[in-house]
Amino acid sequence: MRIAIAQLNYHIGNFEGNIAKMKQAISEAKKQNADIVAFGELAICGYPPRDFLEFDDFIRLAEEGIMTLAEAADDIAVIVGAPAKNPEPEGKDLYNSAFVLYNGSIIHTAKKTLLPTYDIFDEYRYFEPCHDFNVFEFKNHRIALTICEDLWNIGNENPLYTVCPMDEMMPQRPDIMINISASPFSYTQSQERIAVMRENTLRYNLPLFYINHVGAQTELIFDGGSLVIGPSGKIVEELPYFREEIKVYELEEVMQEKSSITQPKDKYALIHEALLLGIRDYFGKLGFKKAILGLSGGIDSALATTLAAQALGSENVRVLLMPSKFSSDHSISDAVQLAKNLGIQYDIISIESAFDAFEKSLDPIFGDLPFNIAEENIQARSRGVLLMALSNKFGNILLNTSNKSEAAVGYGTLYGDMAGGLSIIGDLYKTEVFELSKWINRNGEVIPENSITKPPSAELRPNQKDSDSLPDYEALDEILYQYIEKEQGPREIYAMGFDPKLVDRILRLVNINEFKRHQMAPVLRVSKKAFGMGRRMPIVGKYLS
């Protein structure tokens, strides 16, 4: 038995493109004499399709796609994920299904049992869980086919669920496990994924073929890392991260577990590649080509600009330098140096005259009131107007440069520096921004060293520094991490040794600024808990406010 894993990059709703890509993979698998080729979860329509699933026409196109692939499944079995209608009058209208196609027909259908409804997942909104469990036989092998989360309740130990699909199928004596998945990236996900999949092989003493997506769907990034694991838990191969791959395996060789190929798991290398893929797919799948960013000379815009240039090519990135009377000379020179290092187009437009005009217009109302956040935000919004003017005139998509620390505590201006179509570094804390910048410079200076070493500042008033308004980033980020990622309350964070007054202040800032984050651009997700679809907080909640 020869089994092919097809780790591909799908496009939500692009049935024609997805099917063409899968047909090409089927041809490649046939050339390598594969008996089975397996694709990912909901590969026909892309994952996650969300409320597209509520359109009858969308489901019709998925059904037609299945039959098109069935016609291509001559002399090879094809395993592919797609939504399927529930014929019963009770329950949800759809199943999240895996179809086995062979010689023009559907020879088996597996339905997903464990429907995750946490963090970024909302599958029970759309799908009915499976209630029957059957292996299928192909070429004298009995195969237990499962879908993603179905392998994450090993031995019925996960408190979220009450059934373990593999336990239900083991009395039918399967000799192979195949799991088709759509497992989004975080910088710890690959290690967790390997641990769970190995635990399955050890519990059931069966080889496992695990097929993941690769590619980005707006804020969600899929890293690939598909797995072949032998029956004693040895990793035979972990496929590359962040790129498509088609690989054929001889079952007997997998059973012997002679090889062991895994991928490096350096945190910042993974984050770097994930963000590049996220940017490329956002632009490519939406039909965009060129980006524009505001470049201040600070570390955030420097990192975001560098990532954009690396992802899209220097010729497709333009930056605008917008100094004010509060900007330091080194901020302008640092920004110019970065633009030259990257070979990107840059323009300089001072916002002094625009700011002066706003001040003059508002003077009859503001009168002798002191300079405060109102004047600071006018500067940020003046920059936003200029950036959007160039975006509209030349068709460059504005990319946001806010980091997670600032977004968490509201240290940003709506319709100003928080503007943009996609937030590139919005899931990186400030300390991680510095670390990733240093990682990028590991083989030579790309980001000017001064942008990394100088004290961070918004430069919206004389001699301003972030530390005037915010705690030290080391402490701030650790408290934010405990509250956001680890979901620890104030008392638990006090117990870690942090000043209770500081903790209370930071947590209050996080909660009262939820209204800003609801208006942010989608954030490329690289952690276990990013702002956006995976963290749903009420805007008017009273907790800790």
Question: Using CB atoms within 10 A of its CB, is residue 383 exposed (0-12), middle (13-18) or buried (19+)?
Answer: buried
DSSP string, 457-471: ---SSTT--GGGTS-
Q: Which residues contact 33 (CB under 8 A, 6 or more apart)?
A: 2, 248
Q: What are phi and psi of 500, to 5 degrees?
A: -55, -35
Chain-centre distance for alpha carbon 40: 17
Q: Which of 45, 130, 148, 164 is catalytic?
A: 148
Give, in order, the Cα–Cα distances in Å from 186 to each of 79, 297, 308, 392, 470.
Answer: 26, 29, 20, 33, 27
d(CA 425, CA 520): 12
Q: Which of 41, 123, 219, 238 is catalytic?
A: 41
Q: What are phi and psi of 240, to 5 degrees?
A: -60, 155
DSSP string, 1-17: -EEEEEE----TT-HHH
Among this protein's residues, is 139 annotated catalytic? no
Total length of the chain: 545
Token code pair at residue 364: 């009859």
140 φ/ψ sector (left φ>0, alpha ψ -120 to 50, else beta): left
Chain-centre distance for alpha carbon 126: 21
Among this protein's residues, is 41 annotated catalytic? yes
Largest CA distance in the chain: 87
Among this protein's residues, is 45 annotated catalytic? no
How many CA atoms within 13 Å lie on the side-chain side of 190? 26
- Residue whose entry in the numeric block shows the structure tokens 């975006």: 391
CB-CB contact of 503 with 492 (8 Å): no
- For the chain, helix (H) and strand (E) counts, in that order, are 17, 19
Q: What is the helix (H) or strand (E) element at residue 208, kind and residue range?
A: strand 208-211
Return the amino acid letter for 98: A
Strand locations in 231-374, DSSP E?
235-238, 245-250, 291-294, 317-321, 345-348
The dihedral through the CA atoms of 458, 464, 467, 469 has a sign that is negative
Token code pair at residue 472: 């030290």
| Pure H helices in 32-121 | 56-72
Q: Which of 21, 111, 112, 516 is catalytic?
A: 112
Q: What are phi and psi of 244, to 5 degrees?
A: -70, 150
Catalytic residues: 41, 112, 148
